[in-house]
Amino acid sequence: MIAKAARTEARPDSPGNIGVPRHVAIIMDGNGRWAKARGLPRVAGHRQGAESVRKVIRAAGEAGIECLTLYAFSSENWRRPETEINDLMGLLRFYLGSELDALHREGIRLRIIGDLSAFKPDIAQMVERAVARTAENTRMTLVIALNYGSRNEIVQAARTLAGRVASGEIAPDVIDEAAVNAALDTSDLPPLDLVIRTSGERRLSNFLLWQAAYAELLFVDTLWPDFDGNALRAALVDFAGRERRFGGL
């Protein structure tokens, strides 16, 4: 009974889409290796990776996914050489500039998780404008994780809740899972159903640690620049075949 209730709860409002995950998150990995295998500079892999982003957003919308979260830049990626960071920032600028109209036309709402304050002001502003412009769109939510780290997100949530306790607004014992959830960057997003990581690495790299507690995990060997709509559809078939028990029977 409990298991049944949990399953119903995980998908309360999309009976027409049984088996389709509401929220898919992707760790887009392998751009550098894709380029290296072709004797190209790493930035060529990132550029090709941006093509995969376009294809996967389209396929996710067509599949009826409500929310797609893409890990674009982790809080640990600042450890990379400056030239690589500059290339990634340049691509982000270019992508936002060239894709925003299309995203808006397709009814996609853009959201950001992570700390934008570390980015150059022009990028932060561009991102904020894109979020504002697409805020009313309802077809699909596209979440880009930028300078995102899950541990830091949880630290910030703890700090927010501690502040509310210190000011007397709430008592410590009203802090429950829902309260923590509500203090995370992802508070307004559907529960995470599926995490996909490309490139054969089998780790989460500080991505959505709290949110992934009961998500299905799928690790594929495909390098991100080779990932496309068909690859996403194959992942969805894999997901549909899984039995989620949420601790029940």
Catalytic residues: 29, 77
> Shortest approach of Mg ion to residue 186 CB, angstroms?
22
| Contact set for Mg ion, span 19-58 (CB under 5 A) | 29
Taking the least distance from each CB to ligand IPE, the nearer of 33 and 233 is 33
Residues contacting 36, CB < 8 A, separation 6+:
42, 45
| Contact set for ligand IPE, span 33-72 (CB under 6 A) | 33, 71-72
> Shortest approach of ligand IPE to residue 117 CB, angstroms?
18
Separation between Cα atoms, residue 131 and residue 96, nearest integer Å:
11
Taking the least distance from each CB to ligand IPE, the nearer of 30 and 191 is 30
Taking the least distance from each CB to ligand IPE, the nearer of 60 and 145 is 145
Separation between Cα atoms, residue 199 and residue 222, nearest integer Å:
5
Taking the least distance from each CB to ligand IPE, the nearer of 64 and 90 is 90
Residues contacting 96, CB < 8 A, separation 6+:
126, 127, 130
Which of Mg ion, ligand IPE, none does residue 33 bind to, with CB < 5 to 8 Å depending on kind? Answer: ligand IPE
Is there binding between residue 74 and ligand IPE (CB under 6 A)? yes
- Do 122 and 156 meet the contact criterion of CB atoms below 8 Å apart? no
Angle between helices 42-63 and 229-240 (to 10 degrees): 50
What single-letter amino acid sits at 230?
N
Taking the least distance from each CB to Mg ion, the nearer of 29 and 99 is 29
Q: How many other β-carbons are positioned within 10 Å of the β-carbon of residue 106?
A: 16
Q: What are the E-state strand segments in the chain?
A: 23-27, 67-74, 108-113, 140-148, 194-197, 216-219
Residues contacting 241, CB < 8 A, separation 6+:
none
Is there binding between residue 239 and ligand IPE (CB under 6 A)? no
- Do 197 and 22 meet the contact criterion of CB atoms below 8 Å apart? no
x-marked contacts with ligand IPE along 184-203 as a string, rule CB under 6 A = ---------------x-x-x
Which of Mg ion, ligand IPE, none does residue 149 bind to, with CB < 5 to 8 Å depending on kind? Answer: none
Is there binding between residue 28 and ligand IPE (CB under 6 A)? yes
> Shortest approach of Mg ion to residue 222 CB, angstroms?
13
Is there binding between residue 73 and ligand IPE (CB under 6 A)? yes
Is there binding between residue 88 and ligand IPE (CB under 6 A)? yes
Binding residues for Mg ion, rule: CB under 5 A, are 29
